Structure 1
């Protein structure tokens, strides 16, 4: 290892993918994988123990998701640059990932050389968003909800009591129920919880 070696943590819950990512990065003369983790909690613990320069983290992991890992490591290790791996570029996820402090956002399945280049880029203080994921986010369908429906759903969220939503928006409980019925119908959702998740994933609330 030389003075310019980039020390990397890899967090991925699928063992084969985790091993493949580590093997790909270990081929690079200026990159060393100092730790791997199979879930978010382990990623945070190993990050604190090994203090990597870059953390490459899968978005969806048990115990703590990738965004939670990047957020926690960012607090404890400000010098550690985060890269999130994901299979989709939904607007909400992209915005949340970047707001967590992640400096890179890369599609799963990208060539190994691409990951190494992103690791180098974020280590230099630059940002990288996979162009395919960015395009997916930018071309997401427009919201079918009216501004008032969006406001109601934003307040109601997944499980806020109807009476509290009505009180917050100065509406009757019956009117709130009507709005929520319209919202779930427009989004083709089976429940308010499903409607809220759909709206969040598409960046509509």
Structure 2
């Protein structure tokens, strides 16, 4: 039996995924959590073989949870299942150690097959997303530009962002200017929107 953990912040989705996959003769849902920061403890406590992770969850996101899981329980494979099929998310998830990445509208039979393949040590990636990711290439933003844009999403002032990231206001302005140029945006809000839509934040 494949021991499966399901992590999704939406109770309805979590319950539906658990119910569907629990019908499979070789899959047993051993835990359900609604927060990313609950994943590792639940996986360890229930000796999970595969963790089905949503990306956008409170606590930590699914990509960060996959990285933590890889360190804490290397035998448990992470399979990202998300509504947000963004190429940048795919690359970040794979770098974090996820074994698979599929979108939530994947048919139940294919999702169950993805769980099986991931549990066998294989990689499973949505083919459309893989093609988009290759076509798009890497994020043009540096790590610091990414941090500044992510902080800018809150709508705070330059001073707020500088205080949050322990940078000077001039440095924040420079990073924002570079990010705006690299994304072809009109302003910092537009740059943050473009970067988020591509999964770079």
* TM-score, scaled relative to structure 1: 0.75
Structure 1 position 203, deviation (Å): 6.9
* Number of equivalenced pairs: 185
Q: 1:92 to 1:141 in 2, by over 3 A?
A: closer
Aligned residue in 1 for 2:47? 51
Q: Does 1:83 align with 2:79?
A: yes
Structure 1 unaligned residues grouped into runs of 5+: 166-172
Aligned-pair Cα RMSD in Å = 3.3
Larger Rg: 1
* Counterparts in 2 of 1:69 and 1:78: CA distance versus 1, 3 Å: same
CA separation of 1:196 and 1:119: change in aligned 2, threshold 3 A: same
The equivalences for 1:1-205 within 5 A come to: 5-140=1-136, 154=145, 157-158=148-149, 159=161, 160-164=167-171, 176=174, 179-180=177-178, 183=181, 186-191=184-189, 195-196=191-192, 198-199=194-195, 202=198
Structure 2, unaligned runs of 5 or more: 150-160, 162-166
TM-score (norm. length: structure 2) = 0.77
Corresponding residue number in structure 2 for 1:169:
none
Contact 2:3–2:28 at 8 Å: present in 1 too? yes
Structure 1 residue runs of 4 or more that deviate by more than 4 Å after TM superposition: 139-143, 176-182
Q: CA deviation at 1:157?
A: 3.5
Q: CA deviation at 1:190?
A: 4.2
CA contact (8 A) 1:103 1:127 kept: yes
